Structure formats: C-alpha cells, structure tokens
C-alpha cells in the first residue's frame, strides 16, 4: 500500500518537472536556496551553527565573490527546523547538497496570497465567545501568529481596552520602521516583525514610496486576516454602508503577532520560513497562513517541513486551500499536520438587479456606492463586444485599452469575468465613457457571485443569467438595461454553499489523506482594512475605508485559526491534532435548508473533495466528546510510508533522533489516526478486503457509551468492530477497526460517513473508498 499508483507518479513527475523548469536558475546566475542541515552533524571545532553554516557556504563558493557580493547567507533557521537561506548559483547549490551534514537544498519558491456577519452565522454571539474565553482567560493567554502583509495598528479592531497584561511567557517583539513605532504595539498586537531578505534578493530593494519596509500594512490583506482571527468588537462597522453591524474576530480576546512576509511582488519561501521559525521561537500557539505556492513532494516543500517543526512544538497551523477551484486537484498546503481550509458562503448577501428592456429582471450582487447613480426609471443602451454569448474571447474581457469610446460611451457594458481583476474591468469601462457594467460569470465560476466595491454602477451575475443577457445584447438592435443596487440582506438560503473558487481535492500526494480538511466562511467577509489602500485596491481609487469586504480562502483560513485559538483557550493541553479533530468531527454537512451542502460551481451536492469533513461549528468544536489524536512520531511514521529516502526523511528529524517505527499497521498511510477515513484499493484486483484502524480519546463525560452507524456504500460492505465504545474515565483511549470488502469496483470514489453517537455527543468522520484503475 505504501507505493504510489501510476496516476500519482505521473502527477508528481509533472509537478517536479514544472518546479525544476520554473525554479532552477541558469548557469552562474545567483538565486536563493533554502538549505536544510543536520544539526547533530556539526563538527566539534565549531562553537555555533552560524560558523559551521558559513564554512559550508565558503567551501562551495569563490572567495572573490564574497568581496563583490557580501554575505551570501540571508537567514539561519534554528527553531522549527535547522538550516539557512543563501544566495547560490545552480552549480554551487549542487556542490553544497553533496557536503556532509547537508540534508537538502531547495530552490526559493514564490507564494501568493489567497485572497461582520461570520461570528453570528457561526453561532459565536458575543456572550458565547466571551463565555468561552472567561473560563480560563487569566491563566491561558492564546497568541495567534499571522503571516501576511503586515498590520494597520490604528484600526479599532486592534483596540486593547480591557485586555490583561501581555503574558510573561511571550518572547516576541515589535520591530520599528517607516510608519511603525514600538508604541503601535499594545496588549492586542503583541508582536510585529518583517521578513524581506529573500524578497529583496529576488526582486531588488523595496521601494519605500510604494510600500512600508516595516510591519505597517499598505496592502490591507494582512489587516483583514488578523482582524478576522482576533479583532476586538467594533460597533457600526461597515463598507460604504454595506454589512452594517458589529465586526469582531473569531477569538476577540486572543492576541495577534503580525509577521510581514508578503510584498508587492509576492511572498518568498525563505522569508516565510524565517517567519515560521521566529513565530515558534516567540511562543505563538496558532499560526494562520493565508497563502500558497503550488504543490511539491513533502521533502521538497519547505513550508511543510517548517510547519512539521511547528507542530512538534505544539503549534496549531491553519492554511488556506487555495483559490484554484472548481478544478479538481487544485489544492495547496496538503500536509496532514496542516489544517487545510476551503471557503464557503454565508447567509448574508448584497443583492442587485439587472432589468432588461424586455422588462425581464435578473438577480446579481454589488457593493457599489458612489456619486454616479443610474436612474431606476431609465433604460440605458446595452453593449457586449464579444462574438459569442457562450464562450468568452479577448474582446469580451474588457481588458485595459480594449474598449473603444465610440462603442461604449453612455452605455452599460457587459464584461466577462476572468483574466484581469473584476474591479479593474469597471475602471476600464469608466475610462472609456461607459455608465455601468454587468460582470458575467463564465463556466469557470458558474453561479457563484462575489460582490465587489466597484468604481461605477456594476452588477455581477451568474453564468446562466449572463448568457441570456449577452444573447439579448447581441440580437436586439436597441438593447437596453438598468441596474439597481439593493443593499444588504441576511437570512439567505441555501447557505453555506461551497465557493466555486475554493480549491478541490483529491490530495494526489497522498490519496489516503482527505483534503481540504473543512470549510469556513470565505465569501464577502467584512473585516478591518488598511488606511493606505482603496477598497478596490486600485491606485486610481481615492476612496479610503476602515473596513472592507473580501473573498477567498485567505478569508476562510483565519476563521479556523481564530476558532482554534478559542479551543486552545479552553483546552490548553490539547495537541494540534486534537484541535483539528475537534473541528473536523463536529463539522456539519447540511445547509440551513437541511439539505446536503451544494457547490456554487454547479449547484450540485458537494463531496468531501470539495468540503472536507464539512463546515466548521465552533461551539460544538469546544466540546467534541472524542478526539483522534496524532503525535509527531505518528506523523513521521506516515512520512515513512511515502517513498522518501533516508536523506529525504532527515529534513523532518530536527533533532535527528526520530526514526521509522512503522506504527501504522501494514505500513498503510490510511492507518494514520486521521479524523477522516480513506480506503484506497490498489491496482491489484486480487485485493478485495482492507482493514483500517482508528483510536479515539475520551474528552467528554468520564462515563459514556458511543454506538456506531454507517452510511451505505454500493461498491463495498463496510463493518466496524466493536460497534460500541464504553468509556469509564476521561482521556481513556479505545480503538476500533473499519473493514472494507469490495462488492463491485467503482470507477469513481464513493463517499459516506461514520458516526459515533452517545447521549450527549456526535462524532462524525467522512469515509472515502477509492478503487485505483487496474494495471
């Protein structure tokens, strides 16, 4: 079972080929490499690791280059893992990898950001979240490290009124720089640091006219995610009157440490790894990382290696799944010790309508509010410059410079979604003299609607409505339309719905590990914003706001980070795996109409490859009854099943004292004690039965009895032994087995659920059965 199947091997070959093509430097050209070192291999003459690392770099580089270029070492890493980041040519990197004590040399990777009402929608009313915190707030202070674009400290979301002094165990600090003073930190923002050496080595010096070389956030993304995690309550929060109400983070009593790793030109792995290393050393309890950089094998994924070290130190790590949906196999951040978060809608929307000259009305969304208002009583000429209503072409995307003023002046212009940012299309229309825009989804986005803070009256509509509107504009000689923006509505049904952009499984690195892990709100999320950036993020937009509405798995990730902080406040002794288990086994898979969760990309029921274990339920996650715990050694034994060589495994053995103990029965990665259960039948059709094992820990009532129930499967009979788990003490561990016997090899994976139910708790695990195609 440990061997990769042909599909996985092909997929990984493509990944590695692309990585090698895109990341390896040309001969002689210097670029940044992350070098993983075996700490225990340092020879005795050296008194510290920096001396040793420097000698290693000197041994493979020309001494003259040091005089010309200065120190090649950008960072050293010593907490989450051991090693350094250095500027090297391809030849030097290859030489270094052969040196004793060097475990791996990995090229720099560029990462991208995965870019209100959510506490109430999640059941975290003010009294509920404060009740959770009040129990142990005095002796267990939770600090969340947010790796992002920095923080805007003046936001009311970071007001520290009523907060207790910063815990003495906190080892972080506040770095100063342009626009950021030590006094910008307080009892809410307890740390703020910048990481730019890798970025500057790749792109040149930061232009301080364009951004702050300090923790201050010009972009807004980092402020938004930090406030979503732990923002203090702010009454009357809104975006230009939309989403008016009290904005608060998931864990309003938690503290935030901002680690600025992302800049105008992206986020670079050497900087990200230094931030993870520093955050763990500082003493964060939770790491929130709303960015991703494609997918690599575990031993070549520097973020996977660094977060493994963070997990060993007891830090819960939450990462965004990515915005590559609805395409399958579009996930990032798939390591089992990372909690991978997809995005869903909430029950709040910002409706708008398009009324055609035929009097037919179509529903859409918009966050436009400005001086230009289109009359409801008047119809405006309507134009679509594409050649086909069903398939977009270069003329239909409203690209910069593509619109002729003679064709669009005084008209409402239909623009297809894609290629360029949605709000930028409206700017192009406005500059060409258009009075309004209808933004139409294509097949990529289906019926999913994302509201934007447009620069002119604009309404976004789904693919089906868009086709009808475009057909009308192309076939009617005097096509007209009017637009109406309707404000904020709540109680939207159905919700939640899986966002079309949310990245999807399966996890081709390890099909036995279900990814994403779960869903959280990620569409139209209101949170704090930078005072230096317009709500549209366009330089021509001179508007400034205190709060903004954004969408992306970047927004769903901090929801989970904040709820994890709430769980840690109540259960400070829980491992990261126990926290993840609580989130997954209490997640729900039905919407507010009591129907199975659906997918915005097609309105069909979604599967665990889309929604993971389901949608987070914070209050239930505080008290899950049972947890599936996993320790660092078990995660390492999982890696031992992944066809990694001893030297590749060594990058995960920070203290070099971990070895493969083969604790997973049958060396089957499906036996990792994961809260989701995935049976992977190999290509060999003679294998007709498989047994997987799980162990649950009682964290509920000391004396309790759980009975199992299973959903039916067409392709296999599934049996669980024992069928009842009787606990007599708290923290007692009991094991069970799940046996799968093939009846009919299905061409597609089958999905279902396994439920342990007591008089007080329900503990649910998604179950996936996959039959690999015969050889």
Residue 17 has pLDDT above 50, yes or no: no
Per-residue pLDDT averaged across 123-128, rounded?
Answer: 54
Q: Which of 349, 129, 92 is nearest to 250 (CA)?
A: 129
**pTM, two decimal places:** 0.92
- Is residue 721 within 8 Å of residue 736, measured between CB atoms? yes
Of residues 446 and 218, more confidently modeled:
218
Residue 143 has pLDDT above 90, yes or no: yes
pLDDT at 11: 40
pLDDT at 35: 94
- 502-513 pLDDT, tens digit each: 999 999 899 999
Pull the structure tokens for residue 585. 């086994």
Quick one: angle between helices 302-312 and 269-282, nearest 10?
A: 0
Per-residue pLDDT averaged across 123-131, rounded?
Answer: 53
pLDDT at 604: 81
* Partners of residue 84 on adjacent β-strands: 35, 76
Residue 68 has pLDDT above 70, yes or no: no
| Apex 678 CA angle, 673 and 681, nearest 5 | 125
- φ, ψ for residue 385, nearest 5 deg: -95, 0
361-365 vs 724-727, strand pairing mode: unpaired
How many whole angstroms separate alpha carbon 293 and alpha carbon 313?
24
Q: What positions carry a catalytic annotation?
A: 148, 221, 554
Pull the structure tokens for residue 339. 């909690």
How many whole angstroms separate alpha carbon 90 and alpha carbon 585?
46
Residue 564 has pLDDT above 80, yes or no: yes
Of residues 85 and 139, more confidently modeled:
85
pLDDT at 418: 86
How many whole angstroms separate alpha carbon 27 and alpha carbon 16?
19
Burial of 105 (0-12, 13-18, 19+ CB in 10 A): buried
Q: Which of 16-20, 349-353, 682-686 has the lowest mean pLDDT?
A: 16-20
> Which of 16-30, 585-599, 644-658 is most confident?
585-599
Per-residue pLDDT averaged across 739-764, rounded?
Answer: 97
Round the average pLDDT of the chain to a whole number and report it. 90
Per-residue pLDDT averaged across 52-73, rounded?
Answer: 78
pLDDT at 20: 35
- 404-415 pLDDT, tens digit each: 899 999 999 999
Per-residue pLDDT averaged across 232-261, rounded?
Answer: 94
Query: What percent of the chain stands above pLDDT 70?
Result: 91
Q: How confident is the model at residue 6 (pLDDT cuts 50, 70, 90)?
A: very low
- 435-469 pLDDT, tens digit each: 999 999 988 778 888 899 999 999 999 999 999 99
pLDDT at 61: 85
pLDDT at 124: 57
Q: How confident is the model at residue 523 (pLDDT cuts 50, 70, 90)?
A: very high
What residue has token string 């399966």?
506
Query: What percent of the chain stands above pLDDT 90?
Result: 74
Buried b (16+ CB within 10 A) or exposed e, 721-758: eeeebebeeeebebebebebebeeebeebbbbbbebeb
Pull the structure tokens for residue 764. 């649910």
Q: How confident is the model at residue 133 (pLDDT cuts 50, 70, 90)?
A: very low
Q: How confident is the model at residue 62 (pLDDT cuts 50, 70, 90)?
A: confident
How far apart, in Å, are the Cα atoms of 23 and each of 108, 206, 269, 393?
Answer: 7, 22, 12, 31
Length of the chain: 775
Q: How confident is the model at residue 122 (pLDDT cuts 50, 70, 90)?
A: low
How far apart, in Å, are the Cα atoms of 98 and each of 56, 591, 693?
Answer: 11, 55, 40
Domains belonging to the chain, first-starting first, are 31-107 (3.30.70), 138-339+520-573 (3.40.50.200), 351-487 (3.50.30.30), 621-771 (2.60.40.2310)
pLDDT at 23: 40
Q: How confident is the model at residue 21 (pLDDT cuts 50, 70, 90)?
A: very low
Classified as helix, coil or strand, 131 is: helix
Pull the structure tokens for residue 20. 């090698």
pLDDT at 125: 58
- Is residue 114 within 8 Å of residue 554, measured between CB atoms? yes
Of residues 756 and 653, more confidently modeled:
756
The percent of the chain in helix, strand and coil, each rounded to the nearest 5, is 25, 25, 45
Is the previous residue joined to 409 through a cis bond, with omega within 30 degrees of 0? no
Q: Say how many C-beta atoms besides its own lie within 10 A of residue 79's C-beta.
A: 17
pLDDT at 452: 92
- 249-305 pLDDT, tens digit each: 999 999 999 999 999 999 999 999 999 999 999 999 999 999 987 788 999 998 999
pLDDT at 401: 86
Per-residue pLDDT averaged across 178-187, rounded?
Answer: 96
Per-residue pLDDT averaged across 698-703, rounded?
Answer: 97
pLDDT at 319: 96
- 633-669 pLDDT, tens digit each: 999 999 999 999 998 999 998 755 788 998 898 899 9
Q: Which of 1-15, 176-190, 483-497, 716-730 has the lowest mean pLDDT?
A: 1-15
- 152-175 pLDDT, tens digit each: 999 999 999 999 999 999 999 999
């Amino acid at each position: 079972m440990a061997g990769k199947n042909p599909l996985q091997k092909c997929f990984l070959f493509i990944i590695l080929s692309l990585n090698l093509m895109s990341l390896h430097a040309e001969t002689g050209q210097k670029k940044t490499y992350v070098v993983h070192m075996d700490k225990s291999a340092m020879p005795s003459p050296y008194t510290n690791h920096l001396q040793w690392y420097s000698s290693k770099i000197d041994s493979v580089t020309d001494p003259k280059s040091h005089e010309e270029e200065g120190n090649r070492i950008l960072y050293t890493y010593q907490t989450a893992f051991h090693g350094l980041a250095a500027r090297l040519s391809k030849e030097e990197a290859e030489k270094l990898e052969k040196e004793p004590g060097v475990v791996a040399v990995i090229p720099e990777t560029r990462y991208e950001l995965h870019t209100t009402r959510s506490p109430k929608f999640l059941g975290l009313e003010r009294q509920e979240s404060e009740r959770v915190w009040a129990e142990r707030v005095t002796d267990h202070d939770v600090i969340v490290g947010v790796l992002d674009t920095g923080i805007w400290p003046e936001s009311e979301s970071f007001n520290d009124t009523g907060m207790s002094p910063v815990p003495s165990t906190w080892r972080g600090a506040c770095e100063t720089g342009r626009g950021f003073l030590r006094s910008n930190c307080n009892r809410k923002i307890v740390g703020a640091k910048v990481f730019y050496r890798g970025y500057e080595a790749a792109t040149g010096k930061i232009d301080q006219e364009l951004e702050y070389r300090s923790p201050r956030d010009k972009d807004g993304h980092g402020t938004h995610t930090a406030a979503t995690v732990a923002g203090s309550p702010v009454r009357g929060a809104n975006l230009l009157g939309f989403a008016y109400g009290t904005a608060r983070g998931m864990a309003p009593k938690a503290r935030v440490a901002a680690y600025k790793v992302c800049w105008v030109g992206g986020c670079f792995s050497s900087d990200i790894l230094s931030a993870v290393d520093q955050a763990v050393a500082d003493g964060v309890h939770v790491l929130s990382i709303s960015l991703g950089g494609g997918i690599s094998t575990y031993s070549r994924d520097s973020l996977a290696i660094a977060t493994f070290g963070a997990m060993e130190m007891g830090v819960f790590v939450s990462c965004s799944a990515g915005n590559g949906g609805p395409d399958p196999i579009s996930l990032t951040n798939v390591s089992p010790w990372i909690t991978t978060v997809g995005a869903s809608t909430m029950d709040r929307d910002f409706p708008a309508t398009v009324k055609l000259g035929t009097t037919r009305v179509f529903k859409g969304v918009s966050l436009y509010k400005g001086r230009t208002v289109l009359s409801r009583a008047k119809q405006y000429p309507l134009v679509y410059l594409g050649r086909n209503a069903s398939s977009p072409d270069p003329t239909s995307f409203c690209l910069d410079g593509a619109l002729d003023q003679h064709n669009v002046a005084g008209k409402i212009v239909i623009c297809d979604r894609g290629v360029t940012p949605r709000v930028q299309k409206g700017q192009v229309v406005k500059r060409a003299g258009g009075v309004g825009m209808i933004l139409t989804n294509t097949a990529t986005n289906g019926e999913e609607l994302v509201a934007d803070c447009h620069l002119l009256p604009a309404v976004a509509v789904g693919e089906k409505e868009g086709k009808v509107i475009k057909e009308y504009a192309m076939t009617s000689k005097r096509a007209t339309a009017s637009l109406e923006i309707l404000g904020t509505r709540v109680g939207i049904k159905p919700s939640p719905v899986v966002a079309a952009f949310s990245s999807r499984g399966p996890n081709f690195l390890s099909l036995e590990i279900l990814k994403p892990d779960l869903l959280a709100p990620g569409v139209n999320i209101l949170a704090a914003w930078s005072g230096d950036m317009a709500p549209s993020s366009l330089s021509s937009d001179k508007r400034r706001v205190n709060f903004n509405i954004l969408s992306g798995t970047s927004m769903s990730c901090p929801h989970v980070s904040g709820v994890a902080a709430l769980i840690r406040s109540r259960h400070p002794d829980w491992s990261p795996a126990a926290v993840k288990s609580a989130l997954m086994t209490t997640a729900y898979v039905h919407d507010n109409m009591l129907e199975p969760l659906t997918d915005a990309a097609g309105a069909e029921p979604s599967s665990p490859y889309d929604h993971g274990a389901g949608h987070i339920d914070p209050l239930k996650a505080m008290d899950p009854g049972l947890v599936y715990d996993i320790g660092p050694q078990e995660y390492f034994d999982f890696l031992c099943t992944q066809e990694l060589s001893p030297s590749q495994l060594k990058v995960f053995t920070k203290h070099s004292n971990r070895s493969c103990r083969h604790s997973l029965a049958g060396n089957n990665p499906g036996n990792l004690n994961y809260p989701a259960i995935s049976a992977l039948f190999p290509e060999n059709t003679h294998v007709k039965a498989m047994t997987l094992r799980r162990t649950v820990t009682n964290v509920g009532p000391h004396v309790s009895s759980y009975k199992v129930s299973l959903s039916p499967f067409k392709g296999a009979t599934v049996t669980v032994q024992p069928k009842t788990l009787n606990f007599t003490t708290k923290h007692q561990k009991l094991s069970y087995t799940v046996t799968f016997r093939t009846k009919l090899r299905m061409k597609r994976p089958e999905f279902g659920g396994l439920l342990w139910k007591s008089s007080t708790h329900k503990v649910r695990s998604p179950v996936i059965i996959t039959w690999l195609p015969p050889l």
